[in-house]
Structure 1
Amino acid sequence: MKNILLLTDFSENSINAIRYALQLFEGDTCNFSLLNVQSSSSFMTDDLMLSGNQSLYDSIIKKAKNKLDQLILELEDEFETQTYSIKSVADYDSLTDAINQIKASKNIDLVVMGTNGVTGASEVVFGSNTINVIRKVDCPTLVIPEGFKYRTPKEILLPLDHSDSLRENAFTDAVSFAKRFSKKIHLLRIKTNNENSKEELKDKENINTFLKEMQHEYHLITDIPIAIAVDTYIQTHNIDLTTLLVQKESLFERFFIGSPTTKISNNIRVPLLIFHSY
């Protein structure tokens, strides 16, 4: 993960997420893009009229660009020993459209954002929009909960739905991340009934293939909602980060529309790393 997109609305929550990312990749040579997106709903007609002869860019984007550049100076001073490149990007667009454009132009490997849940003051960018980014941006996304202080993700939790495969690219990406940062991965296969799924039957073989050189735990849980299972496991184990494999269509919609995963993303206790499996 060398090209990383950092989202900010200049809130303390978003800046905390940026600091987490800079600490996570300490010692790596990374290209960070720091993005602030201004939306039309943030400005009244009177605001634009007061700009006089200034262009739309000058009246809306320039102020954001200056704030981004100032934030970069502060971050560079704080992390002065690191081999980072941080560039500012200000845009006037929808959040997900802006992210997708930058993802394509800068070959982004990871999106990092903060969230304080849908009831927080920053809901316009980092509440419900967290779900929109996960749904509409096909890129690994790291979500940092409000106020979470950095610690090395030594132990990672990976909840698995009945159809999540340990042979899909999303799982191998999650394992690559775990091997890079962690000493142990916890697999939590969550079943809706007592019937064995075809993926569950392959788990032992796949674990022996992909995790033979890494510490791991594997648990089967039946008839417990995923949000409750994950939250309980995090509270009873030393989990530093949770990873989810997100699928499309029926499973994806079940996860993200009024679903347990929506609840997880809105109430996460530790950072949440999303890998798409489509």
Structure 2
Amino acid sequence: MKKVLLLTDFSDTSKNAMHYALNLFKEDTCIFYVLHVQKSTSYTTDDLMLAGNESIYNSIVKDVEYQLDGLVSALKKKFNNVNFKFETLIDYDVLTDAIDQVVSSKHIDVLVMGSNGVSGAKEVVFGSNTINVIRKVECTTLVIPEGFTYKKPQEVLLPLDSLDTLGGKAFSKILQFVKMYSNKLHVLRINENGSMPDAQINDLEHMEYFSKDFPSNYHIVNNVPMHYAVSGYIQTNAIDLTILIEQKELLLERFFMGSTTTKIGNNLEVPLLVFHSK
């Protein structure tokens, strides 16, 4: 049984991400954990005083439970899949800590969240915090852009930088995903600082091996930043989903130069699926 964690702040963006996930996994037997993380700053002493004789539980938790139950009922009605089960969860922790706890305790296979990018000063759960989740939570993460209508990910793009190789645990998971949910894999080797012949030879050896299982192609881009190369490729090819292998970057490099994941994650054009290198 596939265990999927769905994050919700009850926004249209989060609901749209849930719909994408339920469409994508419609042939699987799944249990969906629907998690809402309530910030402690979202309620005040006044809220507790207005509750009167009601318990703190009833005044704060009950309303959220009601919303979650309504959300799950709507999902069950819309998808009507006997292979789907749902469980609702509420936490009052830091977002990434709350997610980490559920990932560990429920043995989550994939985490699903929506993203509206960085479009304003206010950081919301599905804005810039998307990057924090990818960075800090060691779980395969599927991020759906705001308003993106579900389409089967027929054509999948895997961009590679100097730290990435076509091998290891993360790449094995990528191959498994493509076999199950997609039809074609596009591999884009991006050498921002010039050609890397050894890496390209290694890539082609792996490509020859897995291309027997599904169609694939391979391209090399030299001296172009990854986020530009990825965006250009998506615009000129029928790409339905981008896959990234998340590497732990050095703190100074991330601080001064920015992060490839951050640049791509803040400007999503198609859904993004992130596999961690460990």
Aligned to 2:271: 271
- C-alpha distance in 2 between matches for 1:78 and 1:122: 32
Aligned to 2:163: 163
1:171: how far off?
1.1
Aligned to 2:28: 28
Aligned to 2:104: 104
Aligned to 1:126: 126
Aligned to 1:59: 59
User: Residue type matched to 2:103 in 1?
Assistant: K
- C-alpha distance in 2 between matches for 1:270 and 1:138: 22
Distance 1:104 1:54, change over 3 A: farther
Deviations 1:187-225 (CA, angstroms, capped at 9, x unpaired): 011002234264333111111223332111101101111
Alignment of 1:126-205 (within 5 A): 126-196=126-196, 198-205=198-205
1:28: how far off?
1.4
1:250: how far off?
2.4
Aligned to 1:223: 223
Deviations 1:4-62 (CA, angstroms, capped at 9, x unpaired): 00001000110000000001111211000001110112223322332345444333222
Aligned to 2:244: 244
The two structures have a TM-score, normalised by structure 1, of 0.93
Q: Is the 1:61–1:91 Cα contact (8 Å) retained in structure 2?
A: no
Q: What percentage of residue pairs aligned between the two structures are identical?
A: 54
The two structures have a TM-score, normalised by structure 2, of 0.93
Q: Is the 1:156–1:242 Cα contact (8 Å) retained in structure 2?
A: yes
- C-alpha distance in 1 between matches for 2:142 and 2:36: 17
User: Residue type matched to 2:190 in 1?
Assistant: I
Aligned to 1:80: 80
- C-alpha distance in 1 between matches for 2:130 and 2:121: 14
For structure 1, the 5+ residue unaligned runs are: none
User: Residue type matched to 1:78 in 2?
Assistant: K
1:251: how far off?
8.8
Deviations 1:137-156 (CA, angstroms, capped at 9, x unpaired): 00000000000000000000
Q: Is the 1:156–1:182 Cα contact (8 Å) retained in structure 2?
A: yes
Q: Is the 1:28–1:83 Cα contact (8 Å) retained in structure 2?
A: yes
User: Residue type matched to 2:169 in 1?
Assistant: N
Q: Is the 2:131–2:261 Cα contact (8 Å) retained in structure 1?
A: no
SS in 1 for 2:212: coil
Aligned residues: 278
- Between stretches 72-81 and 251-260, larger displacement belongs to 251-260
1:68: how far off?
0.3
SS in 2 for 1:188: strand
Distance 1:14 1:177, change over 3 A: same
SS in 2 for 1:123: coil
- C-alpha distance in 2 between matches for 1:230 and 1:29: 33
SS in 2 for 1:270: coil
SS in 2 for 1:124: coil
